[in-house]
Amino acid sequence: MDLRSADLPLLVSLEALVSAQSVTGAARRLGLSQPAMSAQLARLRDIFGDPLLVGNARGMVPTRRAEELVAQLRGPLGDIARVLREGVGFDPVRSDATIRIVGSEHTNSVIGVPLLARLGKSAPNMRLALYAYQASAGVRQFVDRDMDLGLLTPSMELPGMERAPLFDDDLVIAQRKGGRGGMALDDYLNERHILVSTSGGSFSAGVDEALATKGLTRNVVVSVQSFSVALGMVMTTDLLTTLPRHYAARWADFIDISELPLDVPAFAFHMVWPRRVDADPMHRWLRGEVRAVAAEVAV
Mean pLDDT, residues 241-253 taken together: 95
The whole-number pLDDT of residue 92 equals 92
Looking at the predicted structure, is the pLDDT value of residue 5 above 60?
A: no
Residues 68 and 49 in one domain: yes
Q: Which helix (H) or strand (E) holds 7?
A: none
Domain boundary among 88, 119, 141: 88
Q: Regarding beta strands 219-224 and 255-259, do their DSSP bridges make them parallel or antiparallel, or are they unpaired?
A: unpaired
For residues 104 and 111, the answer to whether their CB atoms sit within 8 Å is no
Other beta carbons within 10 angstroms of residue 235's beta carbon come to: 15
- Per-residue 3-state assignment (H helix, E strand, C coil) for 244-294: EHHHHHCCCCCEEEEECCCCCCCEEEEEEEEHHHCCCHHHHHHHHHHHHHH
Q: Name every residue whose Cβ is closer than 8 Å to that of residue 255 and which is 6 or more positions away in sequence.
A: 174, 175, 176, 177, 231, 234, 235, 248
Other beta carbons within 10 angstroms of residue 227's beta carbon come to: 23
Q: Which of 40-44, 130-134, 203-207 has the lowest mean pLDDT?
A: 130-134
The whole-number pLDDT of residue 3 equals 45
Mean pLDDT, residues 69-76 taken together: 81
Residues 258 and 276 in one domain: no
Looking at the predicted structure, is the pLDDT value of residue 137 above 70?
A: no
The whole-number pLDDT of residue 136 equals 64
Asked if residue 93 belongs to a domain, the reply is: no
The whole-number pLDDT of residue 73 equals 82
The DSSP symbol for 97 reads: P
CATH code of the domain in which 51 resides? 1.10.10.10
Looking at the predicted structure, is the pLDDT value of residue 2 above 90?
A: no
- 7-55 per-position pLDDT tens digit: 778 888 888 888 888 888 888 878 888 999 999 999 999 988 999 898 8
Of 182 and 217, more confident: 217
Asked if residue 240 belongs to a domain, the reply is: yes
Q: Which helix (H) or strand (E) holds 171?
A: strand 171-176
CATH code of the domain in which 255 resides? 3.40.190.10
Residues 211 and 273 in one domain: no
Asked if residue 41 belongs to a domain, the reply is: yes
d(CA 299, CA 164): 18
Distance of CA 159 to the CA centre of its chain: 18
Domain boundary among 36, 53, 88: 88
Q: Which of 170-174, 253-257, 294-298 has the lowest mean pLDDT?
A: 294-298
- 279-291 per-position pLDDT tens digit: 888 999 999 999 9
Mean pLDDT, residues 101-110 taken together: 93
Of 160 and 240, more confident: 240
The rounded percent of the chain whose pLDDT value lies above 70 is: 90
Residues 138 and 11 in one domain: no
Residues 204 and 250 in one domain: yes
**Domain region containing 158:** 98-167+268-298
d(CA 63, CA 53): 6
The DSSP symbol for 172 reads: E
Number of domains in the chain: 3
Q: Which of 120-124, 153-157, 272-276 has the lowest mean pLDDT?
A: 153-157
The whole-number pLDDT of residue 188 equals 96
d(CA 139, CA 133): 10
For residues 221 and 194, the answer to whether their CB atoms sit within 8 Å is yes
Other beta carbons within 10 angstroms of residue 106's beta carbon come to: 20
Looking at the predicted structure, is the pLDDT value of residue 89 above 80?
A: no
Global pTM value = 0.69
Looking at the predicted structure, is the pLDDT value of residue 6 above 70?
A: no
At 169 the three-state DSSP class reads strand
The whole-number pLDDT of residue 156 equals 72
Domain boundary among 88, 108, 129: 88
Nearest to 232, CA basis, from 218, 251, 249, 259: 251
Residues 54 and 136 in one domain: no
For all residues of the chain together, what is the average pLDDT?
87
